Amino acid sequence: MTESPAETVRRGAEKMRKLASDATPGPWRNHDTYVPGGGYTATVLVGEGNDTKPLAWVPSFSNDPSEIDRQAWPDAVYIAAMDPSVALLIADQWDEVADDMEDCQAREILRIPAWAKTRAAALKFLGEEH
C-alpha cells in the first residue's frame, strides 16, 4: 500500500523529534575556541553565559582565529542554529501540515506549494528523496 503524503510528513516529524530528543538540550551557540597544541577551531558550545561546555568541533585548526577554515565557521554557525529546540518546532509544524493534508482531497495535496515542499523536505530528511 502506498503511503500518503501526510503519513510521509508524519514519519519525518517523528524521526526529527526522536533525534532532537536524543540530542544534548540547548541552547547551542558557535564559538572560536583555542585548543592547546592545536590552535583555534570552530566549535559549538552548549549552555548559557559562562556556564558552557563544548558540544562539537568543526575541523579547522589554526594558530590565528582569523584564519579558521572559511567553511568551518559557517558550518559551526548552522549546527548551533539547529539546536534541538528548533528541530522540535519543525517537527510540530510538520505534524500540523500533516493534519491539514488529511483534511484535504488527496489529489489536491501536492498542488499546494507549501505542502509539496514540506513533503519534499520530509523525504530528504528521511533519506528517501525521489
pLDDT tens, residue by residue, 12-55: 999 999 999 999 998 999 888 777 877 777 889 998 877 788 88
Integer Rg of the chain from CA: 19
Gap between the Cα atoms of 108 and 48, Å rounded: 46
Q: Is 37 left (phi over 0), alpha (psi -120 to 50) or beta?
A: left
CA distance 20 to 34: 28
**pLDDT higher than 90, residue 1:** no
Instruction: Count CA atoms within 13 Å of residue 2 on its CB side.
Output: 3
The SS3 call for residue 9 is helix
pLDDT tens track for 94-109: 999 999 888 886 667 6
Model confidence pLDDT, tens digit, residues 57-81: 887 665 555 655 567 778 888 999 9
- Residues 36/128, Cβ–Cβ less than 8 Å: no
More confident call, 67 vs 11: 11
pLDDT digits (tens, 9 = 90+) for 110-130: 678 888 899 999 999 999 986
- Per-residue pLDDT, 6: 92
**What would the pLDDT profile of 77-90 be if each residue is shown by its tens digit?**
899 999 999 999 99
